[in-house]
Amino acid sequence: MTSDTSTPTLAELDYIPYLDEQGQLTDQFDGKVGVYAIFDQAEQLRYIGYSRDVSLSLKQHLVRQPRHCHWVKVQTIARPSRTQLEAMRDSWIAENGCTPVGNAADEPLWNQAIDAKTKMTAAEQAEYAASDDLGKIKTLKRVARRVEAEVLADLEARGVTMPVRFDPKLKEEGLLNLK
């Protein structure tokens, strides 16, 4: 990781483990603005993004895609502009030779709240369809809690020990997003 205005290539940057030995994200990117590339266990590029708080974005991606977040390369920027951040992201995508799946077909899985509604069982769908507004909210919250337990189990299996808390208000809509 460097922090200047030049655009390093992905190949020039070192791989940084996504989690430390204690199962925590590194705090070296807390509050830092930059561009980052996420790699799976085999060091295959999965996603390239930019953020005004790289650590917060990395945590969101880990919760949404725990099986694909094993390595990261980061370039922080002292005086960022959206144009500069987008140009660096686009340069890295071009260097890769193809658009990572997380920036293409799977983009919603990387950047949007987890939609528990897509994981409803047939019984839950029937209950939801037959309910009034209050009943629908209760069904969505129950489904969201079930999906939350699955996500937390996936994170635990991945070795994550950091606390994860989802926004309770969004569960009423069947969505899971970090608070």
What pLDDT is recorded for position 2? 45
Domain count, the chain: 2
Residue 3 confidence (pLDDT): 46
Is residue 4 in some structural domain?
A: no
- Look at strands 71-76 and 16-17 and give their pairing: antiparallel
Within this chain, do residues 16 and 98 fall inside the same structural domain, yes or no?
A: yes
Mean pLDDT of the 10-30 span: 95
pLDDT in tens, 21-67: 999 998 999 999 999 999 999 999 999 999 999 999 999 999 999 99
Region 76-104: mean pLDDT is 94
Q: Categorize the per-residue pLDDT at 168 as very low, low, confident or very high, splitting at 50, 70 and 90.
A: very high
Measure the CA–CA gap between 55 and 50, rounded to whole angstroms: 11
Give the model's pLDDT for residue 4: 47
- Domain with 23 in it: 10-110
The CA distance from 19 to 34, in Å, is 19
The per-residue DSSP string of 6-20 comes to S---GGGSPPEESB-
pLDDT tens per residue across span 133-156: 999 999 999 999 999 999 999 999
Burial of 143 (0-12, 13-18, 19+ CB in 10 A): buried
Does 1 map to a domain?
Answer: no
Q: Are residues 23 and 102 in the same domain?
A: yes
Query: What 3-state DSSP class applies to 46?
Result: strand
pTM of the model: 0.90
The reply to whether 71 and 47 lie within a common domain is yes
| Average pLDDT along the chain | 94
- 138/167 same-domain check: yes
Compute the average pLDDT of residues 14-27: 95
80 has pLDDT over 90:
no
